[in-house]
A and B are shown apart, each in its own frame.
Chain A
Amino acid sequence: MSDIDIKRISYLAKLKLPHEKEEFYANSLKDIIKWVDNLKKIDTSEIEPLHNVTEKTVSIRTDEINKSNSVDDVLSNAPERAQNFFKVPKVVE
């Protein structure tokens, strides 16, 4: 099993880990992966991958507009708004 790069994982998950907790979480994740790795014991070489357990096809709808809410509804959970925009800390590319 490959080593866990806990810094990278927390970066990708946008979660800040206190330095002293890094090892703890790294070990917890390792345990989870070890457990899941049990699945590798099964020989699946002859089995087609399955993307969903039901064999049904995606549900579809017709191309119709249905406005079910107002701008205010959508913005009502935003921590901050400015006119009808969501206002967030500066993100610049």
Chain B
Amino acid sequence: MVIGLEVHAQLNTSSKLFSSSPNQFGSEPNENVNFIDSGMPGMLPVMNFACIEMAIKTGFALNFNINKYSVFERKNYFYPDLPQGYQISQFEFPILTEGFINIDNEGNQKKIRIERAHLEQDAGKSIHDIDPKFSFIDLNRVGTPLLEIVSYPDLSSAEEVVSYMSSLRQVLMYIDVCDGNMQEGSLRADVNLSVRKKGGELGTRCEIKNLNSFKFIRQAIEYEYKRQIDVIENGGKIEQNTMLFDTSTGETRAMRSKEFSHDYRYFPDPDLLPVNLTQDQIDKVKTSVGELPQAKLDKFIKDYNVDKDIAKIITVEKQNAILFEKMISETDVKPKFIAAWLVGDIFAFIKENNLEVSSLNEKTKEITDLLKLVSDDVISNKAGKEILPKVLNGQGKPSDIVKELGLEQVSDSGELEKIIDEALIGEDENISKFQGGSDRVLGYFVGKCLKATKGKGNPKLINKILLERLKN
């Protein structure tokens, strides 16, 4: 199968693309609508420059040509969720052309070329299921700035599409142009899919509209792929169609039985002059791009010696990486050790308590103090795990909690030796078993000694002393 993707990313500006209404999700119906958004006659759109800057930023992050000259055009169609009668978009002269992104394809990198990206305004929302005879229209989303990112048909499986989409999402979130919230529709994809015999000519494509989760993208692709193959194998022909994905049945179906094909009659919007950027305006944005996910990943692996899989988990989202780097900067505990705790118990705590990762940025000092106690063997790993939630819940300084609960580990070898010697009294039979080659006995002895220390003995040290004793 051959797949190209059109991804719509909502830019996370304060105000809309051409009006100063709030660009905000979850407001009351029509709360964020002014006379420009509602298409009142005589209103003039005025460009929000932050949108241009975000497009430029994306241009740098996704290796695009950033075009100094771009033109807004009208895409004409009538639908009640866009009262002005046309969508303002870029057509012949988009702001970004010829970019690419590298995706991870079963451990190998694959370069996905991106044909173009352009700015356009979103439409409103129609609600059909409140009243049987009427549709209800909420125009809050009208005019929301979108960056439409159009890939070449370089993708050839559902996995690759998901990998591409998540890499794109990651970059857009890192450079802070899109919040990446797919549930709220901040990032959605139209999938263009066709099938062909290996190496054969491209087939006719169908476009599946508006997929807003990785799960739906995967399901829709798998269903549509089978559907097209079935049609062809039964001697049929694929008709070029726009499809909808029904999330309840997991099936695709053709949208709009079109009496006439669409004709959007694009033409340059006379209300908006062409965009003419100066090199200076473009250069200014470059400094704000920041470190991209791939660079962070490489750094974590090479400079901090973090395992690849763990580094990947940390770099998935920017706030993870920020938290991690903040912790590293505040302690001499090894980054690798911190990383393991971060993706383990710390993330588990965040998930359990439904927290934002960034909420821990205030608590890094306490966390690293605790990790220091563990890595210095002052307390056991187990005790560390026990204390962590208390520290994160703000129940006190790690060292105080350790004292309070009497969790300090016995790492005094003299004391441990005494305990071990006592534990070995009357164990001649087991000792000779060990010396006869039964390793299992060692576990038994470690357990016995730990019990004698009420669990506070340093297991590493106990192990070491035991071995010395037993071998003699």
Q: In the complex, are the beta carbons of A51 and B268 less than 8 A apart?
A: yes
Q: In the complex, are the beta carbons of B265 and A12 less than 8 A apart?
A: yes
A-B contact count (CB 8 A): 136
Q: How distant is the Cα of A14 from the Cα of B276 in the complex, in angstroms?
A: 35
Q: In the complex, are the beta carbons of A61 and B49 less than 8 A apart?
A: yes
Q: Which of A17-25, A36-44, A85-93 sits within the interface?
A: A85-93
Q: In the complex, are the beta carbons of B34 and A91 less than 8 A apart?
A: no
Q: How far is the CB of A26 from chain B (nearest CB, A)?
A: 16
Indicate if B71 sits at the interface (CB-CB under 8 A).
Answer: yes
Indicate if A69 sits at the interface (CB-CB under 8 A).
Answer: yes
Measured CB to CB, the nearest residue on chain B to A70 is: B31
Q: In the complex, are the beta carbons of B48 and A85 less than 8 A apart?
A: no
Q: In the complex, are the beta carbons of B274 and A51 less than 8 A apart?
A: yes
Q: Knowing A65-B20, A68-B34, A90-B128 are in contact, say whether A57-B275 is a contact too (CB < 8 A).
A: yes
Contact of B52 among A12, A59, A60 (CB under 8 A): A60
Measured CB to CB, the nearest residue on chain A to B68 is: A57
Q: Knowing A74-B34, A88-B80 are in contact, say whether A11-B260 is a contact too (CB < 8 A).
A: yes
Q: In the complex, are the beta carbons of A64 and B137 less than 8 A apart?
A: no
Contact of B134 among A8, A63, A87 (CB under 8 A): A87
Give the interface size bracket for A toward B.
35 or more
Indicate if A58 sits at the interface (CB-CB under 8 A).
Answer: yes
Q: How far is the CB of A37 from chain B (nearest CB, A)?
A: 17
Give the interface size bracket for B toward A.
35 or more
Residues of B with C-beta under 8 A to A60: 46-49, 52
Residues of A with C-beta under 8 A to B48: 60-63
Greatest chain A CB density within 10 A among B22, B48, B130, B273 is at B273
Indicate if B428 sits at the interface (CB-CB under 8 A).
Answer: no
Indicate if A54 sits at the interface (CB-CB under 8 A).
Answer: yes
Contact of A63 among B15, B40, B136 (CB under 8 A): B15
> Which 3 A/B pairs are nearest by Cβ-Cβ distance?
A63-B50, A85-B136, A57-B276
B-side residues, CB < 8 A to A, are 13-15, 20-22, 28-31, 33-35, 38, 40, 46-52, 71-72, 76, 78-80, 93, 126-128, 130-139, 244, 255-256, 259-260, 263, 265, 268, 270, 272-276
A-side residues, CB < 8 A to B, are 8, 11-12, 14, 51-52, 54, 56-69, 71, 73-75, 77, 80, 82-93
